[in-house]
Structure 1
Amino acid sequence: MSPELSKSGPIWSLGTMSGTSLDGVDAAMLLTDGNEILAFGQSDYRPYSDEERGVLRAAMGRWDGTEEAAAIVVAAHGALLGGIVGADLIGFHGQTVAHDPGGRGTRQIGDGRLLAHMLDCPVVWDFRTADVESGGQGAPLAPFFHHACARWMEADEPLAFLNLGGVGNLSWVDPGVEIPSDPGACLAFDTGPANAPINDLMHARLGREMDEGGALAARGRADGRILDRLSAHDWFDRLPPKSLDRDDFAWLLEGVADLGDADAAATLTEAAALCVARGLAQCPSVPARMLVSGGGRSNPVMMAALSERCDCEVVPIETVGLDGDMLEAQAFAYLAVRSARGWPLSAPGTTGVATPTCGGRLSRPEEAVEALSSGGEG
C-alpha cells in the first residue's frame, strides 16, 4: 500500500455515484482520514446522454450481457474524473443494475481496474459484494458517512438522513456514539420506492426524465386505494435493516395505469412519502430533524407530503451546510478511505451483516493489463 493510503492522517479522496435514477455521474472530493470529515472539496457532474441512458435502462435487472452499458459507465466516469485533480484515491461505486441480496447477490457494472489505469490513480470499487457474501443486504452503505456528517455538524441528538433517489434510503444516526460500527450508532434501510416510479411514468407517458419541480403531481390528486394497498404491503412489517431493488415495487406503475397523468404522478409522489413515514416509525426514536438529499428534495410536492406525514422537521440538507446533490459521491469518497485502511463499511444495524464488515477492492493503475486480458465486464 502506498504511503498516501496507509498513513493514518487525512487524504483527498474522490468519490462517485451513478444512481438508479440514471440521470448522470456525480463526483466529489473529500478530505478525510476515514473517521472524521476535515474538508469538502471540488465537485462536478456529467449527465448521461439520451442514448447512454437508453442503454443503461436496458441493462437494469440484468446479471449478464451488459458489456455495452459497463463501457458507458467507465467512459463517463473517466471523462468526468479526469477534470478533477489532486485525488490520492478514488471511490468508484459503478452502476447498480441488479440487487438480490437474498438470492443472486448484487451487481454493479464498471471495472475499477480500467478506471485506475485511465486516471493513473488507485481506485476502490465493488463496495457491496463482501457485505452480501457475509449475509448482509449490501445496502445502504452511506450511514457511516452520515454519522460522520452528524459529528461534523456537532449535532448532540439523533438525526435522520433521507436520500430520495430512485429508491428512498433512511439513516438514523446517534452522534453521541463515537464509533459508527458500534451498537446504537446507526440504523439504516431502504424505505421503498422514491423517484424511480415517477421517472419511469414520465418517460413512458411524456418522454421526459422527471416531474420537474413536482409540477405535474401538483395538478393531480393521489388515489387513496393505491396508497392503502401500498401501506398494507408486507415490506413495512419487515424489521430493518432491509434493502430493495429499484423495480421491487414495479406494480405501482401498473396500479396507476388507468389514472390520468397528473393523478398518477400525484399518487406516486405521495407513495414515496408514505414509505418514508412508515420507515421512520421503525427508528429507535423520533429524530430531531430529517435532512433530505437526492433529487426528491427539489420536488416541493414530495417535501410537503413528507412534512405532512412525518413527526419531525423535514428540511433540505443544505439547511445544515451540506450538498444534497453530492452527498452520495462524498460518501463513497469517505468509504474508499475506510476500505483502503481495512475499516468496516457496514454493521448489523446498517445492512444486517452479522459483524462489522469491510468491503471494496483496491486496484492500482498497473493492474489494467490484467483487467484488459480478463475479458470481464466488471
Structure 2
Amino acid sequence: MEKIRTAIGLMSGTSMDGIDVALLRTDGRTIVERGPFLGIPYEPAFRDRLKLGLEQAKVITQRERRPGDLASIERELTLRHAIAVRKFLTANALDASLIDVIGFHGQTVLHRPDEALTVQIGDGPLLARETGIKVAYDLRANDMIHGGQGAPLVPVYHAALAANVPDAILPVCFVNIGGISNLTYIGADGMLVGYDSGPGNTLIDQWVETHAGVPFDQGGMIASEGRVITELADRYLNSPFFTGKKRRSLDRNDFPPPSGADAELADGARTLAYVAAASIIKSASHLPVTPTLYVVCGGGRLNRVLMQDLKDIAHRQGAEVTAAEEAGFNGDSMEAEAWAYLAVRSLDGLPLTFPGTTGVRAPVSGGVVAEP
C-alpha cells in the first residue's frame, strides 16, 4: 500500500485576490480525503504591489531574474503565505509536525509557453524555514523543459476526484473559471485531456476595477444591469486562439481588456461575462467527445450572469452545467487541494503532466523540494 501523506496546498491565482489554503490526505494516486479550507484575501495595497510585479516581470528573459521591486515583492508574498499557513493550522487546531508537505504555487508573473518561459515568484526555502514544513514548489518548469506548455497542472487531480465519485457520469468536463479558465476532460476510457480555454475572471476584474473602483463584479451584480455588445464579444471570440490546431496555455495579458470607449460600465461587464462563458464552450469543441456534463469550480461560478450564459450555451448542445458544490466538491478550494495533491506526487516522482494536458512529450514529474 502506498504511503498516505497529509499535505497543505497553497494557491494564489491569476485573479490575485488572495491565498487559498486547503488540507488533503492522499497517496498522490487514488486516495483523496479532503480536509478544511481557508481563504485569505489580499488587501488593495498588496494587490497593487502584485500588479507592479506583473509590469516589471515583462522584461524577464531568464526565469531566475527579479528586476525592479520583484525580489522584495517575492519575499513579501512568501511571508504572507507563511502567515496563511500558521493561521490555517491555528484555526484547525493542527500542529505543523502533522503536515508532511506544502504544495506552494506562488504567483505567476509571466507565462510565455511559446518561449518555454514561465515565472512564479515565491521563495520555497524561505517558506520551509518560516513554517518548519517541507515545501514542494516550482512545479511547472520541468514540464516546459520537456516540451510542455507548463499548464494546466490540475487535470490529474480532477481525474482523481472523478475516480472517487460513485457512478460518476463520464465523459465529464471540469471547468475552472479563475483569472484564466481551463478545462479537464475525463473520458469513459480514462482519457485525460486538459488545456486553457480562454479568459475567465481577469477581463471582468480589470474592467470593473478600472471603471468602478471595485476589485471584481460580486455575484455578477454589475453585469446584470447591462447588455451584450455583440461587436465587442466577437472581437474576443474570433481570436485565432479558439481555432488553432494546437491548444496553447495563456498568460493573463494575452487577452487585453477593452478600452473605456468600447462600452459603458454595465455593458462591458455583461459582455465580458458572456465572453468568459462562450469561450469555454468554444474551446470545448476541441475535446475528443462533447461532454454531457460540465462541473464548474473557481471564482467565476459565483458570477450568476456568467453561469447562466454558460448553462444556456451548453444546453443548446445538449449538455448540463453544475457548480462544484452540487457535485459534492468545494469550488473555492479545488485548486489549492490540487496543489497539495501535486506536492505528494512530486515527492514520489509521479507524473504531474501528460501529453494530453500540457503537450509535454511524455508524462513527466516536476517540482523542487525545500527542507525546513
1: CA distance, partners of 2:15 / 2:347: 28
* 2:214 matches 1:208: yes
List aligned pairs for 1:252-331, cutoff 5 A: 252-254=257-259, 257-310=261-314, 311=317, 312-331=319-338
1: CA distance, partners of 2:219 / 2:298: 13
Q: Is the 8 A contact 1:46 1:76 kept in 2?
A: no
Task: Report how far residue 258 of structure 1 moved.
Answer: 3.0
Task: Report how far residue 49 of structure 1 moved.
Answer: 1.3
2: CA distance, partners of 1:136 / 1:257: 38
Which residue is equivalent to 1:336? 343
Q: Is the 8 A contact 2:236 2:255 kept in 1?
A: no
Q: Which amino acid aligns with 1:298?
A: L
Residue of structure 2 aligned with 1:19, choices 8, 13, 18: 13
Alignment partner of 1:264: what SS? helix
Task: Report how far residue 175 of structure 1 moved.
Answer: 5.7
Which residue is equivalent to 2:39? 45
Task: Report how far residue 174 of structure 1 moved.
Answer: 2.4
After TM superposition, the score normalised by the length of structure 2 is: 0.91
Q: Which amino acid aligns with 1:170?
A: L
Cα deviation, 1:163-203, whole Å, max 9, x if unaligned, reads 111111111112642xxxxxxx2111111111101101111
1: CA distance, partners of 2:250 / 2:234: 20
Task: Report how far residue 287 of structure 1 moved.
Answer: 1.8
Q: Which amino acid aligns with 1:51?
A: A
Alignment partner of 2:32: what SS? strand
Cα deviation, 1:185-237, whole Å, max 9, x if unaligned, reads 21111111111011011111111000111011111111111222222211011
2: CA distance, partners of 1:334 / 1:239: 31
Q: Is the 8 A contact 2:204 2:216 kept in 1?
A: yes
* % identical aligned pairs: 38
Which residue is equivalent to 2:80? 76
Which residue is equivalent to 2:115? 103
Task: Report how far residue 38 of structure 1 moved.
Answer: 3.3
Is there any run of 5+ residues in structure 2 with no aligned partner, and where? 61-65
* 2:172 matches 1:159: yes
Q: Is the 8 A contact 1:15 1:329 kept in 2?
A: yes
Q: Which amino acid aligns with 1:138?
A: G
Which residue is equivalent to 2:99? 87
* 2:234 matches 1:228: yes
After TM superposition, the score normalised by the length of structure 1 is: 0.90
Q: Which amino acid aligns with 1:206?
A: A
1:274/1:38 CA distance change after superposition, 3 Å: closer
> What is the aligned length?
350
Task: Report how far residue 240 of structure 1 moved.
Answer: 5.0
Q: Which amino acid aligns with 2:258?
A: L
1: CA distance, partners of 2:32 / 2:267: 46
Alignment partner of 2:258: what SS? helix
Return structure 1 stretches of 4+ with deviation > 6 angstroms: none
Cα deviation, 1:301-328, whole Å, max 9, x if unaligned, reads 0001101112311110001111000000
